[in-house]
Chain A
């Protein structure tokens, strides 16, 4: 359902700071794929997600969601198909607006913003029902400003917002990295629930190898702007952390001279 073909992105081209962040990367996701993405700092993971979300346009290549070519679409138009949670808990919500207002904004993702009420009574009841299972007490605080919430609460809310209008693709960029371990675990469990409930096609970046192994049905590893490892199905289920580390070391030593390693 997502088909990325030969995209590339170079930052600060022609300057001393020139940086090839993504080099001829292709990736195809099937409907319902839950893919975890790992790779060292600067590997290009966030750049890949930004390219899909449309933070800026890629230098070349094409990106398709279903049969829609989104390569040239601005970010706000792609949002119709894409739900997103950022690493920074402050990024995904409007701090000065109420919890229910944030949810109402998200539930109109991809729609025209008309001169109708921004939130209706029946929506309020719905949102309270949606928030209850989080066990964070947010259902009683619909008219609290989001800025008053903790980082974990905000990330849980952002997750709900990203999935409230079932997106064709869910992009998660280290969305638990800024949280304490216990909260991170809670948010990750919630992620898994929301993703499996609607079988959302998902790309999730994480720095935690164990999480990358435990969650999802497919794992990709990135290095220097390329995908160097793509493991799915049974093989992914059997994967251990040590195997993953060994393979990473082996691959990065080879400096990716042959294409074979990409297919392993």
Chain B
């Protein structure tokens, strides 16, 4: 438990944190823009990993495998969206159904095994634990591009109509917005990004794991909320959208560094999920504390 052993773990922590941050950008679309809780992501994060790894094992190009992960993620979100908008099943429930169903689908994709390795020596992985600094660089670049795209998209007519739907669906409808469609698009995009991040995570780890997505929603929320609290502390409330998205990535990094710290303190790794829950609870409470202090 030396300081140097903690320092040695930091870069890896930052790398994984960025990947979780990217995943959280997807979750931001449902949780903050549409203002719904979409639990599909616990399934689609693993789906993205499975798709990317299996395609690469079959000889497909790295980037194409990641784009396919994105596309399959879109599909996962679309299924949740259809269950919700066409069959009127509440979003929470329809997303849980899809999440559960995806577990089997993921096993199918991985040809029945719960874990599929992909060797960094034999395959041209984009990022990996072997080259952490390159991973951080590429992760940062991908984050940047994604933030630019999201910033542009949510400023378009279509993106604005998704924001309006989340904000006030009565207003959206009375202004001619088909809220079923905007909800569907939002859910699809969320899971597309999450699955893309899942693909990245598998490449980083060198394997896809059917359990990879367990707790993804909570990790994503942690990143979003930590990022928002910090953004509100450093910048005033109502700061611009791209800044808030940037802080989601930072939130992912900080969340995972806290995990690294807890592990370094020799906390039993079985207790890690408990700590995650506690951390998220603390950060959820901070804005209320600050409000209370101001009053």
Contacts and interface: CB of A to CB of B under 8 A. Distances in A.
11 contacts: A76-B172, A91-B168, A92-B174, A93-B168, A94-B167, A105-B160, A108-B157, A113-B156, A113-B161, A115-B156, A115-B157
| Interface SS majority for chain B | helix
Given A104-B160, A117-B155, A75 B167 contact: no
Contacts of A119: 155, 160
| Interface SS majority for chain A | loop
A150 B173 CA distance: 23
Interface in B143-161: 153, 155-161
Given A95-B167, A97-B167, A161-B175, 4 more contacts: A79-B175, A93-B168, A94-B171, A96-B167
Interface residues of B, number: 23
Contacts, number: 85
Interface string A49-81: 000010000000000000000000011110110
B148 to A, nearest CB: 15
A111 interface: yes
Given A86-B170, A93-B168, A118 B178 contact: no
Nearest to B163: A97
A105 B164 contact: yes
Interface in B173-196: 173-179
Residue of B156, B158, B175, B177 ringed by the most chain A CB atoms within 10 A: B175
Contacts of B171: 91-94
A82 B176 CA distance: 9
Nearest to A110: B176
B158 A106 contact: no
Contacts of A91: 168, 170-171
A161 B170 CA distance: 14
A116 interface: yes
Contact of A94 (B157, B168, B179): B168
A172 B160 CA distance: 25
Contacts of B157: 108, 113-118
Contacts of B59: none
B176 A53 contact: no
B292 interface: no
Contacts of B155: 117-119
A73 to B, nearest CB: 11
Nearest to B238: A145
A166 interface: no
